[in-house]
Amino acid sequence: MTSRFVDRAIIHLAAGNGGNGCASVHREKFKPLGGPDGGNGGSGGDVRLVVDHSVHTLLDFHFRPHAKGGNGKPGQGGNRNGAAGDSLELKVPEGTVVLTPDGEVLADLVGAGTTFVAAEGGRGGLGNAALASRARKAPGFALLGEEGQARDLVLELRSVADVGLVGFPSAGKSSLISVLSAAKPKIADYPFTTLVPNLGVITAGDTVFTMADVPGLIPGASQGKGLGLDFLRHIERCAVLVHVVDCATFEPDRDPVSDVDALEDELARYTPALGDDLAQRPRVVVLNKMDVPDAAELAEMVRPEFEARGLRVFEVSTATRQGLRELTFALGEIVEKYRSEQPAPTATKIVLTPRAVDDAGFTVEPDPEEPGGFIVRGARPERWIRQTDFGNDEAVGYLGDRLNRLGVEDALARHGAEPGSTVTIGDYTFDWEPSTPAGVAIHLSGRGTDSRLERGDRVSAAERKEARRVRRDGPQESSGAGSEVDGGPSSGVEPPESGELSEPGADGARE
């Protein structure tokens, strides 16, 4: 039977894209020069991870690893903004740790309702109504919406338990948690019966704590042998570790002391991802299966050695329930002491980090792949590039003004850039041409155009119209020098043919 417990999953998230802004001009009868009225695009929806106590496993992410937020709607005319995309909330169990594929811890989700924005939605583009200014009163362009963040994340479930049971396979850990709590783990007389961690709630007087039964460990578990590497992370949060030792084992090369030493060596080799040191956690040794006569004799022999190490030793039997009450209250006492030593939880402080005085918000560095080229890196320049419609000359001119005001052109000049140098910002590479200095009045042209992008070799609209007329009617014949009438040059109007009268007022009244 396949286990339904999944404590590790790789998910592929994509937040929603922002909607594009709208470039629109208000048109209404008897209202000339209505002005721009294009609305802004809606923001894309986020993908969030939310802790929910009703979820106990990462099984859903194992079968459905892909998730995407809703896209924002584009803006419309009449100052109508686009609707924001729907955010997607993914429910995760308490104790989920969010990591990058490289192993960097991004968040430790503990506590009902704890939320982590795993993928942030893209910003919506501004409409031309929001881009209007004193110098550019009717922009013929709008900004594009940004793409949502896409990333791959690793989710690992680390059980939130106060007591962790560790031991060799078939040491009696599952039997112990089954008699101390209401948990019903699988119990059998062969090794590795427990394949998934089991949690149980235990009451000791006024103290209530949880216990985790971790699958059996063997030497080399910290290097991936057996099942230990997959489940050692479940004891990272435990306040106390309990060594469950089988005193009735029939293996000749094993004894309680060597078993504890082997497990301690594996715990020392394991590096918790949360940064805690397992060596500082209190230990308790439980000598199990005291109902077997040989086990009781062995316990009397090894008990003094464990006590000499400063470890508390309890002799128990899950069959006869010998020593369980003393063990329960001792564990409750240790857990209560651990909780009292922890610092009181404080509200999360909002830290505002001011920008450094010498931080320009971008950097300029030589392009290693393009001789004489440069790469501009920075959050704002790269975002502006993504928001620009390069099919609209006025939008490209607006981008140049923004980069100039930010100081990109001055920085390129200081690094030795010359007109025509290759400059890369984000995913776009272009030839750099210095524009007018920042602050100089912008000479506006038609909507959707920019006079600075016009070149002498570009064909104008009038020239294209004349070329179409020539292709259709042929070249217009010249009338030569023309004859002078009344001392003036020929007007280019042919005289009427004989017998044809001109209408009064067409060429002036004839006397």
Query: Would you say 63 is a known binding-site residue?
Result: no
- In the beta sheet, which residues pair with residue 322? 317
Was 317 annotated as part of a binding site?
yes
Q: Does the annotation list 211 as a binding residue?
A: no
How many CB atoms are located within 10 Å of the residue 104 CB?
10
Write out the DSSP string of 138-175: S-S--PPPPPPPEEEEEEEE----SEEEE-STTSSHHH
Residues 6+ apart with CB under 8 A from 149: 13, 14, 15, 119, 120, 121, 122
- Residue 319, marked binder: yes
| Annotated binding residue 219 | no
> Is 290 assigned to a binding site?
yes
* 172 labelled ligand-binding: yes
174 is in an annotated binding site: yes
The verdict on whether residue 5 carries a ligand-binding annotation is no
**Phi (first) and psi of residue 366, to 5 degrees:** -65, 145
Q: Could you give the CA distance from residue 45 to residue 86 in angstroms, rounded to a whole number?
A: 5
194 is in an annotated binding site: yes
Token digits of residue 31:
């209202």
Both structure tokens of 39: 């609305």
Helix (H) or strand (E) holding 245: strand 240-246
Tokens standing for residue 134? 């004193």
Sheet holding 47-51, edge to edge: 88-92, 47-51, 115-119
Q: Is 220 exposed, middle or buried (0-12, 13-18, 19+ CB in 10 A)?
A: middle
43 is in an annotated binding site: no
CA distances from 457 to 452, 453, 463 (A): 13, 11, 12
Has 215 been labeled as part of a binding site?
Answer: yes
Is 192 labelled as part of a ligand binding site?
yes
Q: Per the annotation, does 214 bind a ligand?
A: yes
Among all chains, which residue has been given the structure tokens 């956690």?
Answer: 281
Q: Is 288 annotated as a binding-site member?
A: yes
- Which residue in 237, 241, 262 sits closest to 168, CA to CA? 262
Q: Which residues pair with 48 in a beta bridge?
A: 89, 117
Q: Is 268 annotated as a binding residue?
A: no
What three-state secondary structure class fits 376?
A: strand
Binding-site residues from annotation: 167-174, 192-196, 213-216, 288-291, 317-319
Binding-site residues from annotation for Mg(2+): 174, 194
Binding-site residues from annotation for GTP: 167-174, 192-196, 213-216, 288-291, 317-319
